[in-house]
Structure 1
């Protein structure tokens, strides 16, 4: 039985490198500046509030709200109230991928949707089901069951499928019922590859080769399924990473160039100015003084 409403003591349960379960967690393991998260997170807020930004969408998470974050999203966490408390699962990329596998491939539109639809208000019935879910996860983490990882994988998959079911109902209102196409399958694989390789590989040809198709065909497919070209998506992830690193004042420009695999500071600066209209120093200053829309 969960005791989050009875105690403010932080409780932590760990399943190897795959899962961390927190009750009464106040400070989520996120940075105050946008950074690409490497784990999935399932967060239920039952007290207080905090400011969360995912890509360009900002939200104050409040009691009775469930937040779902996926690996590769750019997230920041700020302005936490004194009484903010959550139940939080931090899920490794490996466990997250396993939870998504074994079922029909998720539409690429779902992952775009999740960039702006990451918080869900919970009814009283939803809350009871959610606490049952957390209770089962906690029970399996603390058990000596031989297949507890597999059982937890199925529990997380269940939650993801519930979320996807909700998304599909919304999508059906606009698109009607249809089966996923081969092009959407390629799009899914392309985005999985981007999240893994965008720092080292900026050329469409690399991803096309991984998918055993031509660069021209990959560009056409991604444009058709997502509305943006493959090159534009690669650039978006690189720019988001550079912005996140610029907001981390512990890193100088040379270190950022190394982390993002640019030959030197000059090539990094030219790339950033070309795609944002700003110099690296202009963006860093603007992001630190708290003014202007450039903080996105």
Structure 2
């Protein structure tokens, strides 16, 4: 599928119906959103350019995430990370959700630690069925974030919002920690299997390997074929997938560690600090030091 067939859910798009008081890189719904009344038409594929946690509070729908179809009902937690492709297949008239939408930059300086299997669980279960009690707990966090978010004249508004978001993320990670992987009864297509396998390998090896050949060899494919599948299905070139994962790792190290630029370049297996700096500046628009100090 060609890239032009995908819409984008970016902060520019998501901010259209939000006030100028929106915190940079962080948007939160201040009331349940009726999907049918929202300005974004999600009935065709959209690439999500931020991290999203959404809670279905009412109604039901069928949604595709990275080509996999899921059922969403009340008390469903939806977790989306950058690069995911979503498409709304069908929905009830009363479908309502609460959501938080933020960039990796917004949480880069938070020292998040998680079990190694949590990213895998989020990838395999982006729509997680939770109990009504767990839903209410998350909604209470969400409500408190909204309350603080509205205090536009508060000097420490952004810091408070970020701290509360950190707490909510920890709660979400705990829910995934407690969950058990369940195989989807629908058989995945060959392309779906390849995308899943590639993303899992990318999470595991992105700090050491940036060549298409490495991932293709791991999957017993030719680099040309793997590149074509990734581009056709996601609309993004495979090198962009790899680069974005490396940049996220670099940003996290810059914001949450005391490692020098040289040490970070070595951690990410760059030839030297200069090459790492050029790689980072080309993709982020600032040097690693400028990003660390921003």
- Give TM class, smaller chain: 0.5 to 0.7
Other-structure match for 1:158: 167
Match of 2:22 among 15, 27, 51: 15
- Following superposition, the deviation at residue 87 of structure 1 comes to 1.5
SS of the residue 1:157 aligns to: helix
CA contact 1:38–1:93 (8 Å) conserved in 2: no
SS of the residue 2:82 aligns to: coil
Alpha-carbon distance in structure 1 between the residues aligned to 2:148 and 2:130: 24
SS of the residue 1:111 aligns to: helix
Alpha-carbon distance in structure 2 between the residues aligned to 1:88 and 1:152: 14
Map Cα deviations across residues 29-76 of structure 1 (whole Å, 9 max, x no partner).
463223321022222222222221111321221122221211111111
- Following superposition, the deviation at residue 133 of structure 1 comes to 0.5
CA contact 1:48–1:81 (8 Å) conserved in 2: yes
The answer for unaligned runs of 5 or more in structure 2 is 1-16, 182-199, 242-294
CA RMSD in angstroms comes to 4.1
CA contact 1:66–1:120 (8 Å) conserved in 2: yes
- 1:1-296 paired onto structure 2 within 5 Å: 15-22=22-29, 23-27=31-35, 29=40, 31-95=42-106, 97-98=107-108, 101-104=110-113, 107=116, 109-143=117-151, 144-169=153-178, 187=203, 190=206, 207=210, 219=215, 223=218, 236-242=229-235
CA separation of 1:185 and 1:120: change in aligned 2, threshold 3 A: closer
CA contact 1:41–1:90 (8 Å) conserved in 2: yes
SS of the residue 1:79 aligns to: strand
SS of the residue 1:86 aligns to: strand
SS of the residue 2:128 aligns to: strand
Alpha-carbon distance in structure 1 between the residues aligned to 2:124 and 2:65: 7
Alpha-carbon distance in structure 1 between the residues aligned to 2:99 and 2:172: 17
Map Cα deviations across residues 276-296 of structure 1 (whole Å, 9 max, x no partner).
xxxxxxxxxxxxxxxxxxxxx
SS of the residue 1:15 aligns to: coil
The answer for unaligned runs of 5 or more in structure 1 is 1-10, 173-183, 194-203, 209-214, 245-255, 261-296
CA separation of 1:238 and 1:134: change in aligned 2, threshold 3 A: same
TM-score (normalizing by structure 2):
0.53
Map Cα deviations across residues 82-124 of structure 1 (whole Å, 9 max, x no partner).
11122222223422x427x4123663x5334323311233323
Alpha-carbon distance in structure 2 between the residues aligned to 1:150 and 1:233: 42
Other-structure match for 1:267: none
